[in-house]
Structure 1
Amino acid sequence: MSNAAVTCQPGTGGYGTNVDTGRWSTRLCSCCNDLSTCEVGCLCPCILGCYMANKYGEHCCLGCVPGGLTALRTHMRHTYGIEGTICNDALMLFFCGPCELCRMAREMRIRNGETSA
C-alpha cells in the first residue's frame, strides 16, 4: 500500500494567478481594467466571441452560433470552478451580452496568467 499524499486535487488551483474559485475574478462592468478588449467586445462582439472560442480550444464559429457563447460560458464556469447555472449563463449573455463577453475574455486571460493585450 502506497503512502503517497495528494496535495492538490485536479482542477483546483494551478491558475496563472491566485484567483478565488467559485467567483468571477472581475465584476461585470470592470471594462476600465482592459479597454482594448472592451472596445472589441462592444463594437464587434462576434469577433471577440470567435477569438475567445478559438483561444479556449473550441471551433472559432462557436462565437457566432446561437447559444454558442452560453455553452462557452457554462464550460468556462465548470472549468474554473465558478458557481452559477445554465439559466444564469443564458440570461447574462442575453441581457448583458457585450459586457459579459468582455468579462469572460478578462477571466480567461487572468486565469491563464496572461497580461492585458
Structure 2
Amino acid sequence: MSQPVTCQPVATVSPLTQSSEGSWSSGRYDCCSDCPMCCVGLLCPAILACYVSRKYGEHCCLGLVPGGMTALRTHMRLSYGIPGNVLRDAMSMCLCGLCELCRMGREVHARSLT
C-alpha cells in the first residue's frame, strides 16, 4: 500500500507584497543629482540606453530594441530587490521613458561604484 504524501505549504510572495530589500538610489525626477547623465539622456537617449544596457551586463543593442528598456528595467528591479511589478515597469517606460532611462543610468552607475 502506498503512504499518503503530506507536504508543507509553500509561502508565496506576490509582486505587490515583496519585502523592500532595496530601493532606487534616486527618484524618477532627480535629474539634478547627475546632470551630465540626464543631459545625454535628454539629447540622445539611444546613447544612454546603450550605456545602461552595457553597464548592466547586457548587449548594448538591447536599448535600441522595442521593449528592451522595459525588460531591462524589470530585470534590474528584480535583481536589486526593488519592489514593483511588470505593469508598473511598462507604464513607467511608456509615460516617463526619458526620466526612467536617466534613473536607470544613475542606478547602474551608483551600484557599479560600490
TM-score (norm 2): 0.78
1:42 aligns with 2:42: yes
- Counterpart of 1:103 in structure 2 is 103
What are the within-5 Å matches in structure 2 for residues 3-42 of structure 1? 21-42=21-42
Deviation of 1:68 (Å): 0.1
Q: Which residues of structure 1 form unaligned runs of 5+?
A: 1-19
Deviation of 1:108 (Å): 1.1
Residue type of the alignment partner of 1:47: I
- Larger CA Rg, structure 1 vs 2: 2
How many residue pairs match? The answer is 95
TM-score (norm 1): 0.76
Alignment RMSD: 1.3
Deviation of 1:24 (Å): 1.1
Q: Deviations over 1:50-107 (max 9, x none)?
A: 1111111111110010000001001100111000111111110110011110001111
Q: Runs ≥4 in structure 1, deviation > 2 angstroms?
A: none
Identify, as 1 or 2, the structure richer in helix. 2
Residue type of the alignment partner of 2:82: I
- Percent identity at matched positions? 57
